[in-house]
Structure 1
Amino acid sequence: MNELYVMGMITNRGIRNKMIPFFKENHIHVTLSTMGVGTANSAILDYLGMEATEKTIYFAFVTMETWKSFKKELYSKMKIDIAGRGIAFLIPMSSIGGKKALQYITMEQEVVVEEESTLKDTEYELLITIANGGHIETVMDAARSAHAPGGTVIHAKGTGMEHAKRFLGISLAEEKEMIFIVVRSKHKNEIMRAIMEQAGTGSPAGGIIFSLPVTATAGLRMLEEED
């Protein structure tokens, strides 16, 4: 799959109410948002024109065609070129667990599915599971059953939940957990399958799982010691 990307956006919290409608206007219906704090010192903030370090971080799923049109709108309507307004970036997605999940996260976007990964021969992959709030242990127990290492959790709010019944046949809660696990590429499919079977869309966890290629790591001692 080389036409689908995870788009990240970091903006000042002051424009949060404008962002979700803006995403939907551009056919991006499934987004996740969480709060963050910038670390730039006051001199850098003054230079960038930022009034505060409180941020909203967004994750969404876009095709390259969606990104091209969305990027134009970011400049023309959201004035992202104004200092301090925000940044946006793309990360290539290498795989996703299930056709229905793919249809759900890309609704109204035309996806071209070709080869599995944009970046070839990466030794590690980052698995991200989006699950209903309160189901962290369900996801982690499933991952551990396939010998996955520990994970990191981000609490977020999701949009597009009203479409979940149509694509997935289930209801999803707005409160979400995003569980990040770095794994060896050769173990990816086994771990993804375990999460899909035990905490996937057919379970109360309602988990959707996808992977991103990792080009370099440091400090993953347990994984490195396998060799």
Structure 2
Amino acid sequence: MTHDYEIHTITNHGLGERLAAVSREAGARGGTIMVGLGSASSTLLRMLAIGDVEKDVLVTLVTAAEKDAVYNAITGNSLVRSRKHAGISYCIKLGDEPVDTNTHYELITVISNRGYAEDIMTAARKAGARGGTILHARGTGKPEDGKFFGITIVPEKETVLILAERTNSAAIKDAISTLPCLSTPGIGILYCTPVSEFRLLGKNAATDGKK
């Protein structure tokens, strides 16, 4: 089966499994849950060491026919609507069809060797990013096994996900790519993906989402 959309839902830790069940009831065939760190934009929260909290990242693949029902079930569920701030959810169009370049948001993804995520997020926030999610990962082989886009695959990696408005995504990308710590060739890669739909999760979703 060919899937047309990838739905990403970044929510409070512990809600991922429950939203995955909701998505299956709405027609999704399954999903993948990863645990990451949400990096808050508040300087005070970071100083108090409570700005970075665990988040569930639910990735759901759906067809075009399934997308609306599954997306509405996730974002409109009482599990998230009863909370003031419950995260975000957005859709990414898959396949070879032309991508709508008039979308309001882009997903900036940075994959780097472990230890650079905080520097990346600091630079992104200074350039206008409101926050991001950090995922810890492992490479797929030993250093001598090969390279991916010139990067030697090593065990420890960090993936930083930043949802940015198109109006300031270029500034955020420039701020990250010019970091001195990322100047060494092969230290990481950065790429962008247009986001077709975006919604806030929680009590304010009706007024702040659906862009």
Q: TM-score range by the shorter chain?
A: 0.3 to 0.5
TM-score, normalisation: structure 1: 0.43
TM-score, normalisation: structure 2: 0.46
